[in-house]
Homo-oligomer: A and B are copies of this chain.
Amino acid sequence: MIATTLNRRQEIEEKATLLFQERGYSATSMRHLALKLNIEAASLYSHIKSKEELLRGICFKMASLFFEAIEKVEQESKDSPAETVLRLSIVEHVKVITQDISASAVFLNEWRHLSAPYLEKFVLMRDQYEQKFMEILKRGSSGKEFIMMDEKLATQYILSSINWTHSWYKSSGRMNAEEIGHQLASFIINGLKNQNTELKN
């Protein structure tokens, strides 16, 4: 064994992420986690304070990555058409997800197990992120680039379709993250542009 204890904390975080993804946060015990690291459960507490601290780390780290990505897009495409901003935001979002599928899955599925006040803070951040997408849509809508009846519904629709990448993306697949992002962006943008508003078939 050429094990180094230098970044034991990081190892713990990685294994925890994998287990939380596979079994869910609640169904993962500290003994499961310890087993993966070949130590005793009690020993984990020399490196971390609690089980929830691990969940918090994952959820807020991913939240930061998503924010950094969209803020970078905002800065770099200040004067671009809404279509361009939306496309880039989608592509960067998908890239963040595919860079760490496990952490993204935990971020998307396990955040509700956070306790106060972290839960509230998390929900607030998520709402702010959704708001950023909604503002792009509003801008495209008022500029006649996009046609939509309900910006809120359109926002939820877009985020749903790009978030779920984590559940089926395979790094071994035919398309890389950027290609998937652009393909999804094309579906979405074309849907927003050529909206026929028929409400009965």
Residues of A at the B interface (CB closer than 8 Å) are: 24, 26-27, 84, 87-88, 91, 109, 112-113, 149-150, 153-154, 156-161, 163-164, 167-168, 174-175, 179-180, 182-184, 186-201
Contact = CB atoms under 8 A, between A and B. Distances in A.
A54 to B, nearest CB: 16
17 contacts: A91-B201, A157-B187, A158-B161, A159-B164, A160-B163, A161-B161, A163-B164, A182-B198, A182-B199, A182-B200, A186-B191, A186-B196, A188-B191, A190-B190, A190-B194, A190-B196, A191-B191
The SS class assigned to the A binding surface is: helix
Contact of A156 (B87, B156, B168, B191): B168
A174 B160 CA distance: 20
